[in-house]
Structure 1
Amino acid sequence: MNECYYDKQMDFFYNRSNTDTADEWTGTKLVIVLCVGTFFCLFIFFSNSLVIAAVIKNRKFHFPFYYLLANLAAADFFAGIAYVYLMFNTGPVSKTLTVNRWFLRQGLLDTSLTASLTNLLVIAVERHMSIMRMRVHSNLTKKRVTLLILFVWAIAIFMGAVPTLGWNCLCDISACSSLAPIYSRSYLIFWSVSNLMAFFIMVVVYLRIYMYVKRKTNVLSPHTSGSISHRRTPMKLMKTVMTVLGAFVVCWTPGLVVLLLDGLNCTWCNVQHVKRWFLLLALLNSVMNPIIYSYKDEDMYSTMKRMLCCFSQEKNPERQPSHIPSVVLSQSDTGGSQYMEDNSNRGQVCNKSSS
């Protein structure tokens, strides 16, 4: 019967993995990683909070796509929390952790990153459903969207909790990986392959969308006016899709390949010296998601801009009286009551005053 090592500190497992990387990351490298990670996390908290607030605030966004977008922002926000916890438990501190604290550290990362990835996949499927039916939004009900969101988090929590629940090497020390000293190599293979499969599905879905939109554009463009063609141009969607795919490939593939190589027990691949950089690269995807999915959406961008405008005016209240009354008076001559009804929202008043 194999001996179990639940009561050991993490230094026991790090020493068995024949690596001193945890000690090497105490100088300039660790400072750079922490500084870059801190900047990323602050941006993640700020930008994803704006996305969630915009979806809640603007009724134009009360549709399935934007609910999923808000859930993606929540997953990326959680990724920032997970990385903050990691930053306080990395470097030389890693060897002082108990097994349970190390499981918590890695479980938070696995849960948050899997949630972001699964959200991207669900959004891709939702976009496919909408575009194939020539609709701006899919006909998913709120109940179905809620079930999808719950499914996303169930998958993410499951993937993060599986090692803690038993798929680890605490009772089979010879099966321990190098990058994650108490994870079984078989689990790393399962985790990396499943995520790479999700990536492949995303590629297929977006390529199908691209081919469909390109075909429809060629058929309909001679029969559409210039203004409509410009407003609904599929090239805009195509650029967004290619940006999403490019960001995902750049940010995720290197880390997943390294995990797969470690799971396959590649002793000559030297995976230890790149793991933290690839973790930062994966975190960068959570930074880029609000930019890709929000900035390229004109309504989302304008809503976030109005929110920032209002926040700025709240900090400088002396600017408000000189703008707001003039706007209200100028509109009162031509349908002022309609203006007050449609623009009683503070954010919309900010937008009028800024223009």
Structure 2
Amino acid sequence: MENSASNTCYYNHNVTFFYDWVGKKISEVWTTRDFVVIGLGLTVSIVVVLANLMVMAAIFINRRFHFPIYYLLGNMAAADLFAGISYINLMLNTGPWTRLLIKEQWYIRGALIDISLTASVANLFAVALERHQTIFTMQLHSKMTKRRVVLLIVGIWAVSIIMGLVPSTFWNCECDLNDCSTVAPLYSRRFLIFWAVLNLLTFFIMMAMYTRIFIYVRYQNQHTSETWHNQAVVNLMKTISMVLGAFVICWTPGLVVLLLDGLLGKASRANDYEKFCLVIAECNSLVNPIIYSLRDDEMRRTFKHILCCLCQRGADQQRECPPVEIDSPLPEEGQRKCEAQALCLSPEPDNIEDS
């Protein structure tokens, strides 16, 4: 039976057939647990989408963020936003609903998650390369042209889409049932091994790059008098490192589970940890906006500007909120001179004292 399963293709079989083959159960009726999982999942996903929309809007409206590093961070927010949409789609196609999915819908559900992960990893790697180039040339921001940044972002999403389509196009187990994953029953276990090892290796390379950068920055701080420049570099590096650290912490458990599933199959008992790892991975898309708001004063002020505009428009449609327009980044000591331009809450003549 195993030999025949290895030599026969099962293109005409439905999703349930592959789930039954690997022994992964699909709920037949809705349970309280299913409602709780879907309710919490949808709530978190909606918050993820709104929070990352705010990050993208902040980078768009504030000219102090119009640099390659922030464009890449904005693209990372777009990847997190895409992840939020992917999780919403997953929540609406899970539980007993899984039985109703055709294979194309099931592949799309998995592809959306794969695309968001690949885009996030590729963005983090691009940010690491950008920081490596600028720090070792004693610059605060890269001089990369906007055209190159756009091409880089387009390339990141092109690679992400290709990687997301790989399992559905040719690297699946429809012609080799013995190679089916227990976590993702239509995926090839060999693909999961490749996928997990590639991402874990990328994590290791990025962490090594940031370690080298931090050693270099510490050395430069001891041999240069440009205090404000060094402090700005360190602050930005700390923010990016926190983003990288949060990503590695949130995604490593899931990648390890996929790796064990690919290597051991049913013996790995990966399904026992799948939901837990997915929740951690989903939370990562919410962590980045929190890091930006806690670490970056300018980003926090821009968030307040956006919320101020939304509140004012809701209360008074005729009142317009002043735009945030700062032409160039300034050292921390010089922020006081342009504070009136940077802050969202530009005081009206009647309420200066209250502001």
1:292 correspondence with 2:291: yes
CA shift for structure 1 position 19 = 2.5
1:277 correspondence with 2:276: yes
Query: Would the alpha carbon gap of residues 25 and 156 (structure 1) be closer, same or farther in structure 2, given more than 3 Å must change?
Result: farther
Equivalent residue for 2:176, pick from 172, 180, 191: 172
CA shift for structure 1 position 348 = 5.8
Match of 1:334 in 2: none
- 8 Å contact kept, 2:189–2:265: no
Match of 1:27 in 2: 31
For 1:244 and 1:74, locate their aligned partners in 2 and report how far apart those are by CA, in whole Å.
14
Match of 1:5 in 2: 10
Match of 1:337 in 2: none
Match of 1:311 in 2: 310
Specify every segment of 5 or more residues in structure 2 that has no aligned partner in the other structure, as ranges: 323-337, 349-353
Query: Would the alpha carbon gap of residues 26 and 349 (structure 1) be closer, same or farther in structure 2, given more than 3 Å must change?
Result: closer
- 8 Å contact kept, 2:140–2:232: no
CA shift for structure 1 position 26 = 4.5
User: What one-letter code is carried by the residue in structure 2 that aligns with 1:15?
Assistant: D
Match of 2:329 in 1: none
Normalising by structure 2, report the TM-score: 0.84
For 1:186 and 1:318, locate their aligned partners in 2 and report how far apart those are by CA, in whole Å.
57
Query: Would the alpha carbon gap of residues 229 and 135 (structure 1) be closer, same or farther in structure 2, given more than 3 Å must change?
Result: closer
**Deviations, residues 255-297 of structure 1 (Å, cap 9, x unaligned):** 0000000111243332102112211211111111222245422
For 1:65 and 1:237, locate their aligned partners in 2 and report how far apart those are by CA, in whole Å.
10
User: What one-letter code is carried by the residue in structure 2 that aligns with 1:3?
Assistant: T
- 8 Å contact kept, 2:301–2:344: no
- 8 Å contact kept, 2:80–2:120: yes
1:44 correspondence with 2:48: yes
For 1:175 and 1:167, locate their aligned partners in 2 and report how far apart those are by CA, in whole Å.
10
Query: Would the alpha carbon gap of residues 30 and 215 (structure 1) be closer, same or farther in structure 2, given more than 3 Å must change?
Result: farther
Match of 2:22 in 1: 17
Matches within 5 A, 1:120-199: 120-199=124-203
CA shift for structure 1 position 244 = 2.5
For 2:297 and 2:207, locate their aligned partners in 1 and report how far apart those are by CA, in whole Å.
25
The worse-fitting range, judged by mean Cα deviation, of 57-66 and 25-34 is 25-34
For 1:60 and 1:80, locate their aligned partners in 2 and report how far apart those are by CA, in whole Å.
27
1:211 correspondence with 2:211: no
RMSD: 2.9
Match of 2:259 in 1: 260
Query: Would the alpha carbon gap of residues 298 and 8 (structure 1) be closer, same or farther in structure 2, given more than 3 Å must change?
Result: same
For 2:45 and 2:274, locate their aligned partners in 1 and report how far apart those are by CA, in whole Å.
18
For 1:15 and 1:87, locate their aligned partners in 2 and report how far apart those are by CA, in whole Å.
21
1:81 correspondence with 2:76: no
Match of 2:326 in 1: none
CA shift for structure 1 position 32 = 3.3
Query: Would the alpha carbon gap of residues 206 and 29 (structure 1) be closer, same or farther in structure 2, given more than 3 Å must change?
Result: farther
CA shift for structure 1 position 344 = 12
User: What one-letter code is carried by the residue in structure 1 that aligns with 2:345?
Assistant: C
Query: Would the alpha carbon gap of residues 117 and 36 (structure 1) be closer, same or farther in structure 2, given more than 3 Å must change?
Result: farther
Identical counterparts, % of pairs: 44
CA shift for structure 1 position 122 = 1.1
Query: Would the alpha carbon gap of residues 241 and 62 (structure 1) be closer, same or farther in structure 2, given more than 3 Å must change?
Result: closer
CA shift for structure 1 position 219 = 2.9
For 1:229 and 1:75, locate their aligned partners in 2 and report how far apart those are by CA, in whole Å.
30
1:116 correspondence with 2:115: no
CA shift for structure 1 position 224 = 6.1
For 2:147 and 2:293, locate their aligned partners in 1 and report how far apart those are by CA, in whole Å.
24
- 8 Å contact kept, 1:6–1:99: no
User: What one-letter code is carried by the residue in structure 1 that aligns with 2:16?
Assistant: D
CA shift for structure 1 position 28 = 3.9
Query: Would the alpha carbon gap of residues 271 and 25 (structure 1) be closer, same or farther in structure 2, given more than 3 Å must change?
Result: farther
For 2:344 and 2:293, locate their aligned partners in 1 and report how far apart those are by CA, in whole Å.
21
**Deviations, residues 222-242 of structure 1 (Å, cap 9, x unaligned):** x567xx4895473x3454354
Match of 1:102 in 2: 106
For 2:275 and 2:308, locate their aligned partners in 1 and report how far apart those are by CA, in whole Å.
37
For 1:7 and 1:297, locate their aligned partners in 2 and report how far apart those are by CA, in whole Å.
53
Normalising by structure 1, report the TM-score: 0.84
For 2:254 and 2:230, locate their aligned partners in 1 and report how far apart those are by CA, in whole Å.
39
Instruction: Name the SS for the 1:105 alignment partner.
Output: helix
User: What one-letter code is carried by the residue in structure 1 that aligns with 2:299?
Assistant: M
